[in-house]
């Protein structure tokens, strides 16, 4: 091929940006099997599309604002975006402004890195009541995602119940109980900051269906709870045996560390702080109570039972109780959603693929959560994207990519701007980024996020964008 290989990437989050980075390979190449090697042996041009005017995906809209160290990946993405051959088309919706079939015609290859924008339902009565939300939605709300900035979050009750005890659940509990003076120094969205400033929440209860040693949280996130200022940590420890290994058998180091932390919390005297986080295990939700709004949660107690082979199982009991609450957040998992024109596996919430190659669609690839399911940390996407890019490049070298209709870059740009006059290119995104950071510096914060699409578009074109009141 005498011209550059032209690739479209749909999604400007971690998986999409890492894929762009591998295709626009930096000096030294890419780590494979512990050493640097060059994957790319021809010129490549990459166009990254995103439905939002902004980049970075979950790094911007999913990482907790009090965890700035986890947002350092954005620096890597900034370097990738500055490489020759990179272009950004923001505020472009696939299926609206451009169809997947068109992308396949315009480019030699298309990589979908659209993440997992749905969430797992509990499947219990009352789940659709006002005041029962996915934790994913709550996280997007306090992180300033334009789709969720205006949702109703009722913080007028003293107790919030979170279903699940993974890292997202712990993030939610921490944000709900962190002193406002600390949140004021983060990039939390202004509307969320104001709501939390007036919050009546004093207790966040996390419910886990399984036992304490099954806790889905990671150790650093669990241990972080213990140093929260002004927050008591309570572990309801009726199911914590005195000798874990006698009950559970030999434990790995990670589980031993987890159990030691839980034991410390369970045995630590309460300091009488104004707020508290309660970790309750072996408890399942049965029904969200209320007429039109959440008024409580009916739960059942579970217990551990061994089968004939000695394996432990979680079994329900007849013991039930009602927990008084006005807000229930389900944190039991993300899931992918279908994209028009692409196959979808409803069971696993992914686009069906083999090593990143979409089944039945030549020159079409996936990476990230839509490829493998919602698991792993931000950095996990780097290897995932690398493996997909290796498959794509192998197909390019074997001359199996159909490329008779591939458009040059200026033609793509012209068509998209005709269809979406408010297209945000890389320069526009940099204007947005600069305005947010400048507003943040003036307020002693990392940035003040612009959370409305029209204001983001205005900021990208140099018009005033940030409201005068920043909280």
Confidence of residue 385 (pLDDT cuts 50, 70, 90): very high
Here the tokens at position 351 are: 């686009």
Of residues 381 and 1, which shows the higher confidence score? Answer: 381
Q: In this predicted structure, what is the pLDDT of residue 465?
A: 45
Q: In this predicted structure, what is the pLDDT of residue 241?
A: 63
* Nearest C-alpha neighbor of 136 from the set 336, 284, 325: 336
Report the percentage of the chain scoring pLDDT > 70. Answer: 95
Three-state DSSP string of 429-451? HHHHHHHHHHHHHHHCCCCCCCC
Task: Give pairs for 379-387: CB < 8 Å, separation 24+.
Answer: 379/73, 381/14, 381/15, 381/18, 382/14, 382/18, 384/15, 384/18, 385/15, 385/16, 385/18, 385/19, 385/21, 385/22, 385/113, 386/18, 386/22, 386/30, 386/31, 386/32, 386/39, 387/355, 387/356
pLDDT digits (tens, 9 = 90+) for 71-93: 999 999 999 999 999 999 999 99
User: Among the listed ranges 1-10, 40-49, 82-91, which one has the minimum average pLDDT value?
Assistant: 1-10
Q: In this predicted structure, what is the pLDDT of residue 283?
A: 95
Biggest CA–CA distance in the chain, Å, is 72
Q: Taking a C-beta distance cutoff of 8 angstroms, is the pair 48, 13 a contact?
A: no
The highest-level CATH class for domain 122-332 is alpha beta
Q: In this predicted structure, what is the pLDDT of residue 412?
A: 97
Average the pLDDT over 431-443 and give the result: 97
Q: Is the pLDDT of residue 153 over 60?
A: yes
pLDDT digits (tens, 9 = 90+) for 10-23: 999 999 999 999 99
**Sequence spans of domains, the chain:** 5-117+336-424, 122-332
Q: Is the pLDDT of residue 439 over 80?
A: yes
Q: Taking a C-beta distance cutoff of 8 angstroms, is the pair 448, 192 a contact?
A: no
H helix runs in 198-355, sequence order: 219-225, 244-248, 253-267
Whole-model pTM above 0.75?
Answer: yes
Confidence of residue 179 (pLDDT cuts 50, 70, 90): very high
Confidence of residue 316 (pLDDT cuts 50, 70, 90): very high
Q: What end-to-end distance do the CA atoms of the chain give, in Å?
A: 55
Range among 127-136, 398-407, 460-469 with highest mean pLDDT value: 127-136
Confidence of residue 27 (pLDDT cuts 50, 70, 90): confident
Q: Is the pLDDT of residue 469 over 50?
A: no
Q: Is the pLDDT of residue 314 over 80?
A: yes
The full DSSP string for 252-295 is -HHHHHHHHHHHHHHHSPP---SEEEEEE-SEEEEEEE-SSB--
Q: In this predicted structure, what is the pLDDT of residue 470?
A: 42
Which of the 8 DSSP states describes residue 32? E
Confidence of residue 340 (pLDDT cuts 50, 70, 90): confident
Say whether 122-332 and 5-117+336-424 share the same fold. no
| Cα–Cα distance for residue pair 277/422, rounded to 1 Å | 44
Here the tokens at position 354 are: 């083999």
| Cα–Cα distance for residue pair 365/22, rounded to 1 Å | 14
| Cα–Cα distance for residue pair 118/414, rounded to 1 Å | 33
In whole numbers, what is the pLDDT of the chain averaged over residues?
A: 92
Q: In this predicted structure, what is the pLDDT of residue 239?
A: 63
Q: In this predicted structure, what is the pLDDT of residue 359?
A: 95
Phi first, then psi, for residue 6 (nearest 5°) are -110, 120
Q: Taking a C-beta distance cutoff of 8 angstroms, is the pair 14, 59 a contact?
A: yes
Phi first, then psi, for residue 2 (nearest 5°) are -80, -25
Q: In this predicted structure, what is the pLDDT of residue 26?
A: 82
pLDDT digits (tens, 9 = 90+) for 203-255: 999 999 998 888 999 999 999 999 999 999 999 867 666 655 555 667 888 98
Here the tokens at position 339 are: 């994209």
Q: In this predicted structure, what is the pLDDT of residue 464?
A: 56
Pairing of strands 203-207, 275-280: parallel
Phi first, then psi, for residue 428 (nearest 5°) are -60, -45
Average the pLDDT over 363-383 and give the result: 93
* Nearest C-alpha neighbor of 143 from the set 48, 67, 73, 50: 67
- Which residues neighbour 87 within 8 Å (Cβ) at sequence distance 6 or greater? 45, 46, 47, 48, 409, 413, 425, 426
Question: CATH for 5-117+336-424?
Answer: 3.40.50.720
- Which residues neighbour 420 within 8 Å (Cβ) at sequence distance 6 or greater? 91, 92, 97
Q: Is the pLDDT of residue 471 over 60?
A: no
| Cα–Cα distance for residue pair 105/8, rounded to 1 Å | 11
pLDDT digits (tens, 9 = 90+) for 241-267: 665 555 566 788 898 899 999 999 999
Helix/strand number for the chain, H first, E second = 16, 20
């Amino acid at each position: 091929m005498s011209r550059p290989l032209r690739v479209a990437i749909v999604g400007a989050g971690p998986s999409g940006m890492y894929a762009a980075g591998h295709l626009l390979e930096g000096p030294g190449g890419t780590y494979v099997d512990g050493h640097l090697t060059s994957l790319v042996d021809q010129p490549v041009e990459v166009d990254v599309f995103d439905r939002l005017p902004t980049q970075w995906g979950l790094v911007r809209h999913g990482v907790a604002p009090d965890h700035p160290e986890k947002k350092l990946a954005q620096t890597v993405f900034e370097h990738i975006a500055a490489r020759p051959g990179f272009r950004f088309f923001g505020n472009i919706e696939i299926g609206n402004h451009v169809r997947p079939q068109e992308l396949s015609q315009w480019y030699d290859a298309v990589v979908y890195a659209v993440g997992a924008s749905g969430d797992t339902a509990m499947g219990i009565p009352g789940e659709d009541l006002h005041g029962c939300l996915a934790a994913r939605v709550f996280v997007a709300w306090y992180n300033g995602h334009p789709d969720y900035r205006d949702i109703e979050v009722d913080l007028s009750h003293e107790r919030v119940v979170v279903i699940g005890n993974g890292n997202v659940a712990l993030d939610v509990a921490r944000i709900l109980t962190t002193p406002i003076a600390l949140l004021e120094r983060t990039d939390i969205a202004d509307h969320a900051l104001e709501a939390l400033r007036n919050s009546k929440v004093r207790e966040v209860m996390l419910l886990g269906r399984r036992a304490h040693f099954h806790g889905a949280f990671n150790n650093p996130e669990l241990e972080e709870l213990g140093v929260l200022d002004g927050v008591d940590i309570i572990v309801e420890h009726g199911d914590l045996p005195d000798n874990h290994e006698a009950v559970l058998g030999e434990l790995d180091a990670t589980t031993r560390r987890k159990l030691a932390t839980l034991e410390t919390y369970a045995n630590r005297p309460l300091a009488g702080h104004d707020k508290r986080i309660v970790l309750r295990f072996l408890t399942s939700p049965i029904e969200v109570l209320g007429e039109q709004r959440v008024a409580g949660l009916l739960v059942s107690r579970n217990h551990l039972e061994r089968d004939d082979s000695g394996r432990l199982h979680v079994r329900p009991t007849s013991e039930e109780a009602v927990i008084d609450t006005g807000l229930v957040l389900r944190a039991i998992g993300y899931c992918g959603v279908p994209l028009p024109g692409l196959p979808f596996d409803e069971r696993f919430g992914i686009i069906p693929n083999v090593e990143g190659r979409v089944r039945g669609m030549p020159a079409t690839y996936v990476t990230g959560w839509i490829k493998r399911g919602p698991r792993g940390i931000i950095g996990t996407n780097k290897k995932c994207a690398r493996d997909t890019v290796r498959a794509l490049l192998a197909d390019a070298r074997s001359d199996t990519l159909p490329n008779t209709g591939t458009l040059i870059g200026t033609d793509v740009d012209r068509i998209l701007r005709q269809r979406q006059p408010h297209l945000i290119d890389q320069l526009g995104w940099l204007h947005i980024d600069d305005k947010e950071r400048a507003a943040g510096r003036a307020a002693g914060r990392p940035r003040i996020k612009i959370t409305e699409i029209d204001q983001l578009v205005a900021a990208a074109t140099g018009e005033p964008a940030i409201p005068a009141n920043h909280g």
